[in-house]
Amino acid sequence: MKIQVLFGTESGNAEMAAEDIAASVRDGGQEVEIHDLSDFSISELQHDPVYVFICSTYGEGDLPNTALPFFADLSIVGPDLSGMRYAIFGLGDTFYTETYSQGATKLDDKLRALGAERIGEFGRYDASTWEPVGEKAVEWFSGVLTELAVH
């Protein structure tokens, strides 16, 4: 099973979390690739890998600007993603009470609407907790791996 970690970030925290997840996968002896959503085209999406989306929130509950083109392409092209499996982890801050983690939620809604299947729990990281985001992400991902093993 190949794992592809795709991150959407503005200030780099999602990238850091993505790198930590990738490192933990590598340590577990599995193959993993990591891409910035700003350098990743929806035409590269395939059916066999498991995708891991790590995505923060900006503006009025939007995706980070580096991930907006990817998201717009999903909306415009509307590719059939049935059969594609993914996990998702959102970074946000409960300081933004009304739009907490909405960017990742929008991405999740879109992926499911296009037929993709989510594996494991929706991971959420709240920057107000001051916890190390990388550790939280790796912890969450180990739960996803357990889910994958049963699937």
Partner 1 sequence: MNSTVSIAIVGSGPAGCYTAQGLRKALPNAQITIYDRLASPFGLVRYGVAPDHQNTKSIQAQFARLFERENVRFAGNLEVGSDVSLKELRSLHNIVVLATGLSRDRALGICGEGLPEVYGAGRLTRLFNAHPLQTVGMPRLGESVAIIGGGNVSIDVLRLLAKQPADFANTDIDDAALAEYMQSPVRHIDFICRSSVANAPSDPVMLAELGRIPGVAFSCLDPFSVPDDASRIAGARAKAIETLLETRGGPDTRVEVSFHFGHAPIQILGDGHVCGVELAATGSQGATNVVVADSVVTAVGFDFDEDDWHGLGPIQANATTGQLGNGLYRTGWVKRGSRGTIAANRACAKSVTEEILRDLPTLDMSTKPGHAGIPWQALAHAVDYDAWKRLDIAESGAAAEGRTRKKFPSHERMVAIANNHLAGALGASEN
- For 17, phi and psi rounded to 5 degrees? -65, -40
CB of 108 to ligand FMN, least distance (A): 14
CB of 2 to ligand FMN, least distance (A): 24
With contact defined as beta carbons under 8 Å apart, do 88 and 55 qualify? yes
Q: Binding partner of residue 91 among ligand FMN, partner 1, none, CB under 5 to 8 Å per kind? A: ligand FMN
Per CB under 6 A, the list member of 4, 24, 56, 105 interacting with ligand FMN is 56
Does the protein bind ligand FMN through residue 19 (CB under 6 A)?
A: no
Q: Binding partner of residue 148 among ligand FMN, partner 1, none, CB under 5 to 8 Å per kind? A: none
CA angle, residues 106, 38, 56, in degrees to nearest 5: 40
Environment class of 127 (CB within 10 Å of its CB; exposed 0-12, middle 13-18, buried 19+) = middle
Q: Binding partner of residue 92 among ligand FMN, partner 1, none, CB under 5 to 8 Å per kind? A: ligand FMN
Element (H, E) at 69: helix 68-77
With contact defined as beta carbons under 8 Å apart, do 122 and 88 qualify? yes
Residues in touch with ligand FMN (CB under 6 A): 9-14, 56-58, 61, 64, 91-93, 96, 99-102, 127
